[in-house]
Chains A and B, each alone.
Chain A
C-alpha cells in the first residue's frame, strides 16, 4: 500500500471513524486503539476489496465488528472484575490539545451527545451513529447484518426517545 493512498483514506475517513467509535464506546483512549486496529485491517485487506466504490461501507463494517467484539470482551472483563472504568477527564486531553482547539466546545458537544445516546439501547445507538455517517437504511442493514425493516423499527423507536434533543433524524 502506497503512502499516498494511506493519506487519502486517512484524510477521508479517520475523523468520522474516530467519532463513530468514540460516540459508541465513550472512551477516547479505547476509541483510538480500535480506530488503529480498523486501519490496520483496511491496509491488510485492501487488495481483497473488489468493489472499491463500497470502501466507506466496508470500513464501517470493519469498525462495527471491532466495536461489537470489543464491547463483548469488555463486558466479560467487567463481570470478572478485571477492568477499572477509564478515567478520562479534561486533564487526560491536555497533552493532546493544541491552541486552536476550543476544549470547552469539544467537551460540551461530546457530553451532550453522550447524554442523548445514553437514552438508547446498544442497537439503536449503533444504527443512529451509522445514520449520522450518511448511510441508507439498506446499507445499515447490510453492515449490521439485520433486515431493513428491523432497522426502520429501531430508527422509529430511537426517534421517539430523542426527538426533543436531536434534529434531522
Chain B
C-alpha cells in the first residue's frame, strides 16, 4: 500500500461544492456582523460630556452653598451679639448708669 505523505494532511480533497457553500455561508455571517457606526463613538463621548457637566454644576452649586452658609453664620453671630448686648443693657443697674 502506498504510504501517506505529511503533505497529504495539509489539505484534504474536499468537494468544491462544499467549499463554495461554506464560502457563501460564512460571507453572509461576516456581513451580518454588527459594524461600528457613528453612534458607537457618539454615545461614549456624550456620556463623558454629561458626567463632566454634572460634576462642574455640582461643584459650583456646592461652592455657592458653602458661601451662603458662611454669610448666614456671620449674620447669625451678629444677631446673637446684638442679643448679648441687649442682655447686658437690661442687667445694668441704675447705679451703673449713673
Contact = CB atoms under 8 A, between A and B. Distances in A.
Interface string B26-41: 1101110100000000
Contact of A36 (B11, B26, B31): B26
B15 A96 contact: yes
A109 interface: yes
A168 B7 CA distance: 8
A36 B25 contact: yes
B20 to A, nearest CB: 9
Given A16-B10, A101-B15, A132-B10, A165 B4 contact: yes
Given A6-B30, A100-B15, A102-B13, A168 B5 contact: yes
Contacts of A43: 30, 33
B28 to A, nearest CB: 10
Contacts of A131: 6
B29 A113 contact: no
B8 to A, nearest CB: 7
Contacts of A19: 9-12, 14
Interface residues of A, number: 44
A112 to B, nearest CB: 6
A168 B11 contact: no
Interface of A is mostly: helix
B22 A14 contact: yes
B98 interface: no
A32 interface: yes
Interface in A1-26: 1, 3, 6-7, 10, 14-16, 18-19, 22-23
Contacts of A93: 15
Contact of A166 (B3, B17, B23): B3
A18 B18 CA distance: 11
B19 interface: yes
Most B Cβ at <10 Å: residue of A44, A113, A132, A169? A132
A10 B3 CA distance: 30
A113 B15 contact: no
17 contacts: A6-B30, A14-B23, A15-B14, A18-B14, A18-B22, A19-B9, A19-B14, A23-B9, A39-B26, A96-B18, A96-B21, A100-B15, A112-B4, A113-B4, A113-B12, A116-B4, A166-B4
A-B pairs, 4 with minimum CB distance? A132-B9, A101-B15, A98-B17, A168-B6
